[in-house]
Structure formats: structure tokens, C-alpha cells
A and B are shown apart, each in its own frame.
Chain A
Amino acid sequence: MATTAERVAHIWRRLGFGPTRADIEVGVASGDPAGLVEELLARPPTGAAAWAFPPVTAEWDWTSASRFVERHFANMAHGANPVQERTAWILQGLVVVSAEGVNYQQMAGHTVFLRDRAFASYKALLRDVSTTAAMLEYLSGDKNTRFHPNENFARELCELFSLGPVHPVTGEKNYTEDDIKEMARAHTGWRLTWPPPRQVLFDPWYHDSGTKEYLGGVHPDAGVNDAAQVIEAITQHPSWAAFVPEYFYREIVGLDPAPAVLAELGDVFGPEGDLRALVEAIARRPELLSDAAIGTRVKSPVELVCGLMRILEIQDASWLGVMWRMGSRFGQHPFFAPNVSGWPSGTAWLHAGHLVAWSDLLMPALWWRDSGGSDVPAEQRVQPLRDLYAGSTRTSVVDNAISLAGLAGVTPSTRAALEAFAGAGSWNHARAVGVLHLLLCSPDWFVN
């Protein structure tokens, strides 16, 4: 049976990017995990002013894009509304655009686009994203003409963004190849201006003005509104109420929803695709706080880094090298989804290369910036590390490190390993940080 502290930590991990020590202390003091859920859900949404994204100054400007991505990490780690941050990040893995196909300015625009809509209507989100410059370019929408329909967007819209290939309960195929071809016709006519910055325009000359038949319906031409008409038809499909609710449930709870639960969530999601209501309903499900859900989910690289930034109070992600590390070392860069299905999940992250990359990222975080000496300039000091050493003895350091890491407890094997190391050799700053380093490479940190 999970303790209150474990439940509090768990809530912070699933509805945000992990707890700090203070978060756990406050949650435990209240003694009411369900109350914490409500407190997080009730936080007011944040907006562009709070996000303070710096502009990406040119299509492929690496430096300003780096500042943007670093700010993105800071927002995810420290944003005033963790649930909104979490929801926006889930959306980024669901409605995917990648710098494998579009430029950094468009990626920044897409990131903000999703953050703006984290608590809005998913139906409206899909309608809008159908004709953003980023999505048109990424999934060939700007090349889709009545003369030669291009199926790329229509296929991924159905398969990855809204319905899935089959109904999750019945296993029925959700659409046919003919549906895809007809929907592609409906999306024709959208173009991008040249030269950059690329503006979106609807050109009737390229639009297929015939009647289209898809998803069991006959749809007379609606011209510029044809794309919205496709979304309307998708929301009438039986899998509309299942696919996105199931996706969010898996992301937040970490389990597969029972059919009855999925049906309930589908009702909440509704034809408009109310994301806020969906997330709230999932957060209030008893399964979220069940022992089956706690301590079982594998963190993704972005979750690892954001969690680290929270516990060490790192505001500036530049010194973690997120812009170059997250893609080439971890394979999870917010700008570089490998393909339109987003990133892997679960045990796909648990391979040796992952631990190599993670232990390498811990070097600047724990060792290079602040050696613990008095000669380190104030702006380079990592105060939580100094506090860990100053506030601990070799007998208390393990508990203090566990609490600093926002873990409510660890498995006996991890505790024994840390205690053995803490008790060996000399006691100093490096040993205290060494204990934390080991903890951050333990199974308990990767899976929770």
C-alpha cells in the first residue's frame, strides 16, 4: 500500500514533471493526495507572457532556437501550472511536427500553438492545425492539389491524431484507403507563399470542388471549409471518443483503461474534444492513485531532464546542453521527433545507451559547475547540492538525497547500495553528491 508521500510524489510526476522536496513536504502535511490533485487542477492557466519564449530569429538560426528550446525546458520544469505543461507536452507527442521536415521558426510556432490549446477543444485544435504553415509543410499539405491529391496529412490525421487504425475495443478498422483518398481531396487548395516567412493561403484553383465521400458520409464541397468538414466527420466517428482519451489515460495513469472507464472518458471528451475536462477526469480516476499505477512508469528523457531541473532548481537549461544532447544522445528532442508518430515510450528507453547518455548529462549538472568549494562564483553554485552536504551526515545523506530527488522512498536494494557508498571512505561534498548521482542512476529514478 503506497504511503501518502509516495502518492504525493506520484501525483506530481503524472500531472507535472515531478516533485521537489518542498512539494512532497507540503502534500504530506496536508495529508490529502486527492486534495493535491484538485489544487493542481485549479491552478490558473499560464500564457505567453509567463512563458517568455525568446524569438527564433531566422528559419534555421541555431542559436536563437537553442534559447527557445532551453526556455521550453524551463517552462516545463518550473511552469506555474504543471498540469498545463504536462498536457502541452503530451500534445507535442500526439500532434507531431518535426524539424526533420520544417524549420526552427515553424517548430517554435507549433510549440506555442499547442501550448495555447492545452486546455482547449481538441476538435478546434485539429481544425486549426490542418492549415498551419508548419503542419502543411510537414505533412505535404501545401503540395496537395486537386490535380494530384497527396494523402500524407489525411492518413496521419486519422491514424495518429484522431482515430487510430482500429477501434480500441472492437478492433474494427476505423477507415479505408478510399476514405483517406477522399479526405485528401477535401484538404486540397492550401498553399504557402514564397519567399519566407511563409504565409498560408487558400487557393480555390488548386482545390477539388467535387463532392467527397468519406467515413460513411457524402460531403458536398465546402471550399475553404472542407478541411473543417473533415474534422467534423471525424468527431462523429465511434473512435473519436476513444483514441485521444485512451492516449491521455496511458500517458497520465500509465495503464490501459478498462472499456467502461474509456467509455466514461469518451463522454467527458465529447464531440468538441474538451481536453481540460478529459485531463481532469483522468486525474480524478481512482486508478491514478492505485498501487498498480504508482512506481511503474518509465520516464522519458524529457521527463528525466525536467525532473532534474526541478530538484536542482536549474532555471537555465543551456548548461545542460539540452539543444545538442536531447537529439543526438537521447533521441528525444522537442524539435526533432523522429517521425510523425512521435517518440518511443516505456521500456524502449531502458537500454544501455540511455544510461550512458544520462550519466553523461549528470556530469555538468552535478560536477562541472559547482565543485562545492568556496572559490566557485555565486552564480555557478548549485545550492541544493551544497545544502545536501551541509545538511547531512554520512548516516542521514541517503534519506536527504532521496527527499531532494523528490522520491518518497526507494527499493531496499537501492537504499542498501547508497548506504554502503555513503559509509565508505571520507565524508565530503563529493561523497554527498556521489550519493545523489547514484540515486539518479538507480532503477527508482528511471521508473516511478
Chain B
Amino acid sequence: MPETEELARRHFLRSLGTIALGGVGGGLVFRAFGGPGAGAIEGMLGDPLPTGTPILVLVDVNGGNDDLSTLVPIDDAWYYDKTYGHGSLAIPPASTRLPAGLPGYGLHPSLTWLAERWNTHHDVAFVLGVGQTETQEFSHFVSESTWRTCVIGRREPTGFLGRFNDRVHPGSLVAAISLAGLHPALVGHDIHVLGVPRVEEFGIQASWQWRNDDAYWGAYDQMAAAALTGNLGAASQMIRQTLDAPATIRPAAVPSLDAGLERGSLAWQLAQAAMLINAGVPCQTYAGVLDGFDTHTNQLTAQATQLSNVDTALDLFFRALSEQRRRDVCVLLHSEFGRQVTANGSGGTDHGQAGLNILVGPPVAGAAYGEAPTLDPGGPTRPNRIWDARIPTSDFRSVFATILTWLGDDPGISSEVLGRTFEEFPVFKGGPPQPHPVRVRNPSTPRRRPAP
């Protein structure tokens, strides 16, 4: 395509998206595009993602979700223990939602959709006892940095998904889409994360006088093409992305999918992801965030609210996905750590170690994986715990390695990205038979009070 024609096409696509209400104080309105599952987008950056290509939607459940009250060990007396367990914060067995075929466990009452999904679709995986096995880190921020970079003990600018995209989608402007701010797990050496807070509004805003002016957009093009280095270069790259990506992003907008949702909520974030996935945007890695799981106090209410937000968001997300694309999508719910076993007495729990990963989506072979760390403290000095936290039984990188192998359809990719090999779980369909039921390391003895 001749350069001038290409420029004109880009300007057309940019201007297509916005109609100004002229005059002082006028607002902007946006024209609705396309519809669910609209066909290939003209001018898309790169070829549409072929159907059958795995897509990961990482949901960063931020703050340290209390996994014990998410997938509740309803038969374990230690969880209910007033001295060494959750005591009054424990979720009573009767109020949990029972996942069929997973004896001894009940899901938090807020997870209505997830329980139903487990029972009807058999594509929900729980990986138990996940945590950081090489370090014992109780800090949110160190722990977050470790799992997002998968690098321990030194500063690392790239995230594990960024390094994946460096290898699989080098140079792409849309391979890593962050749905809230800029998610560090997506940052690569060559990949610039595309922040898409809202598909429908995505693009540089311009005054009506210049919206269709070639010289105006030409100036942006020049700044985006500048040979700058360091942070200036990163800013120039930001302009390039924001200039070029709307032609790919905006036509994916389906206003009905985020209508009525709270801006920035997890449901909102996943609605944006659904639009982009349905449109075939060539991106395998999306990341969203939900804060609010650091439940030092008020845990019963706070966790119920946030898990309900997760449940609703997942429900809306999978319903929003087109039939064609839904089968390629896996959502991973990951938190920086679980929480301590003993309630802290102020209505909450403090930072723990071992936690829970949840994977859901048609590619997932529904089952529980891994080993549940014992809840038995082992005595008054709690030798079975790190202070009061359960000891992880699986390194979090085993889960990530599993996902990377699936995403890249390449058995070597995970060790390239993570720097070494990790045992992988047969979480994705097509693998060996699933481990079932849950194995428990150091199984709890029948309830007894430790000797004083």
C-alpha cells in the first residue's frame, strides 16, 4: 500500500471513532462500532489471532487472598479451630457451595457461578498449596515483584509474560494488553504493554478542528517515529502505540458489554478483554487487577464482597465471549500469597505463604491439583507452619510454566522464560490423567488440642 494511502487510511480509522460536539464546553460522544464477534478488522496490526490459539487472562487478585476461605476445607477441624485456625472467621460448611467430586471442600458462598461452572463444565482447576518455595516473603510488594517477574533476589525490569511475548510476538504493539494501568507481569524487553482502560474510548483525543487534519496527525507520526532513547524513547513508543493501536482496538468496541458496569471494576476490565478477544486482536496475554484482598480486618464482609466481584466478572466475561473464541480462553486467578491460619482477632487474618491458584476456561481439565499443606500446626510451637502460615507445596512457577507451555505450544518456552525447568501440572486438556482427589501433605490428624 502506498505510504500516502496508508496514512489516509489510518487517519480515516482514527477519525471514524469520534464525533465531537463542537463548541465551548462540548463533550465527546463516540460512535458505536461493529457488534459481537464482528469480522476481521480492517487495518489491524498484525493478522487476527487464529482461532485455536491459547489466550490467557491473568487476574491479579491483589492483597493476598485468603485461600482457606475461598476453597474451604470443610472437613478439617483445624480450619475451624479457635486457637490455631480461623475460629469465628471460618466459613461454616453448610453455607459453602459444594463442588461435586471434591470431597472435603466447599467454595465460598460468594462463588456461585464458579461452583456451578465446576459442576457443569468441568473446566475449573484448583492448584493447592501454591507459593514461593525458595523464599519466605511476607511483604506484599516483594512477593508481588517476585511472582510478576519470576526472578528472586534482584531487580528485574521484565515480567514473565513480557518475556514470553518477547520470544513469541517480538515487536508487536498489541501482544500484551493491560486492562488496568500497566501490569508489571506483561513488561518485556521488546514488548511495550498496551494499556486499554476502555476499548470504546481508546485513542488520542483531538479537538474537532484537527480531528481529520493530516498535518495534525502527521505531527504525531513524526514524534512517534523519533529516534530517541531511554525514557524519551519509551514516551515516543507510547505515542506510536496510541496512534496505531486504535485502528485495531476501537473497532472491537461493543458498548453493550460494559454498559452499566462500574468503570475500572474487574467486570469492566474483563468486558474490555472480551471485546478484544472476540475481535481477534492478536494478543495472547491480558492482565487485569482486583485489589481489596488484604483482609487484616473485616474479612468476612470484605472477602465476600471481592469474591462476589470476581464471580460476577467471570460470569459476565465468559458470557461475553463469542462461541468461536471462548474455547481458547483460560483465566488465571493469582494472589501474592495466602493468609495465616489463625485469625488475628481483629476480624481478619495476616499475611501468609501458601495460597491457591484458580484456572477456569474450556481448555482447562477440571480438577484439583497439587497438595494441600497441612493445617495441623504440629504443636504449640507450630512446627508445621512458617510462623503461622502454611508451607507451600508447589512453587508458583510450576503453574506459570504450565501456562507458558500451553500458551506457546512449545515445551521449551517455559524454561526459556523462567530460566529453568519446573514440574508442570496436567491442567490443560490433552495431558495425562488428572490427579484426583486432592492429596494432602502431612494429613491432619483427627482434631486434638496440642499439649500446652
Contacts and interface: CB of A to CB of B under 8 A. Distances in A.
Interface residues of A, number: 76
Given A143-B347, A177-B387, A150 B238 contact: no
A437 to B, nearest CB: 7
Contact of A370 (B24, B195, B232): B24
Contact of B294 (A339, A366, A438): A339
A433 B210 CA distance: 11
Nearest to A298: B231
Nearest to A368: B25
B182 interface: yes
Interface in B212-229: 213, 215-216, 218-223, 225-228
A51 to B, nearest CB: 30
8 contacts: A140-B346, A148-B346, A150-B345, A353-B195, A363-B205, A417-B221, A420-B219, A434-B209
A102 B51 CA distance: 46
A434 B220 CA distance: 12
Contacts of B165: none
A341 interface: yes
A159 B227 CA distance: 40
Contacts of A418: 219
Nearest to B389: A177
Contacts of A149: 344-345
Contact of B239 (A148, A341, A355, A368): A355
A151 B201 CA distance: 42
A305 B19 CA distance: 26
A151 B64 CA distance: 14
A155 B24 contact: no
Interface stretch (A55-63, A76-84, A439-447): A439-447
Nearest to A140: B296
A369 B351 CA distance: 49
A369 B204 contact: no
Contacts of B141: 159-160, 341
B228 A143 contact: no
A113 B107 CA distance: 44
Given A149-B344, A359-B206, A376-B24, A438 B219 contact: yes
A352 B238 contact: yes
Given A148-B344, A368-B26, A417-B219, A155 B230 contact: no
A447 B235 contact: yes
Contact of B28 (A148, A354, A363, A446): A363
A160 B228 CA distance: 34
Nearest to A152: B296
Most buried by B among A150, A298, A344: A150
B407 interface: no
A271 interface: no
Interface string A367-380: 11111000010001
A356 interface: yes
B348 A143 contact: yes
B178 interface: yes
A225 interface: no
A297 interface: yes
Interface in A326-340: 328-329, 331, 338-340
B297 A140 contact: yes
B204 A296 contact: no
A155 B141 CA distance: 11
A339 B230 contact: no
A341 B207 CA distance: 37
A162 to B, nearest CB: 14
Interface in B15-70: 23-26, 28, 62-63
B284 interface: no
B231 A347 contact: yes
B230 A296 contact: yes
A interface, over-half SS: helix
Interface of A: 100, 139-140, 143-145, 147-152, 155, 159-160, 165, 177, 180-181, 295-298, 328-329, 331, 338-341, 344, 346-357, 359-360, 362-363, 366-371, 376, 380, 411, 413-414, 416-418, 420-421, 424-425, 430, 433-434, 437-438, 441-444, 446-447
B75 to A, nearest CB: 26
Contacts of B350: 150-152
Contacts of A329: 197
Most buried by A among B139, B205, B216: B205
B25 A369 contact: yes
Contacts of A355: 204, 238-239, 242
Interface residues of B, number: 76
B422 interface: no
Contact of A350 (B216, B234, B263, B264): B234
A411 B228 contact: yes
B344 A369 contact: no
Contacts of A369: 24-25
Contact of B207 (A150, A363, A444): A363
Interface string B291-315: 1101011000000000000000000
B interface, over-half SS: loop
B114 interface: no
A352 B220 contact: no
Contact of A352 (B25, B225, B230, B241): B241
A430 B216 CA distance: 12
B232 A447 contact: yes
Contact of A414 (B62, B226, B294): B226
Contact of B24 (A151, A346, A371): A371
B71 interface: no
Contact of A356 (B205, B227, B291): B205
Given A165-B139, A351-B238, A148 B232 contact: no
B91 interface: no
A232 to B, nearest CB: 23
B181 A350 contact: no
Contacts of A446: 235, 238
A345 to B, nearest CB: 11
B231 A354 contact: no
Given A143-B347, A353-B195, 19 more contacts: A148-B343, A150-B345, A329-B197, A338-B291, A350-B238, A351-B241, A353-B196, A354-B195, A355-B242, A356-B197, A411-B226, A417-B219, A425-B213, A430-B207, A434-B209, A441-B223, A443-B223, A443-B232, A447-B235
A140 B142 CA distance: 21
B271 interface: no
B204 A359 contact: yes
Contacts of B136: 177
B228 A413 contact: yes
B364 to A, nearest CB: 29
B365 interface: no
B245 interface: yes
Contacts of B216: 421, 434, 438
B194 interface: yes
A352 B242 contact: yes
Nearest to A371: B24
A437 B220 CA distance: 11
A371 B208 CA distance: 12
Contact of B215 (A371, A380, A421, A447): A421
B275 interface: no
B232 A362 contact: no
B345 A148 contact: yes
A420 B228 contact: no
A355 B26 CA distance: 21
B296 to A, nearest CB: 4
A294 B312 CA distance: 48
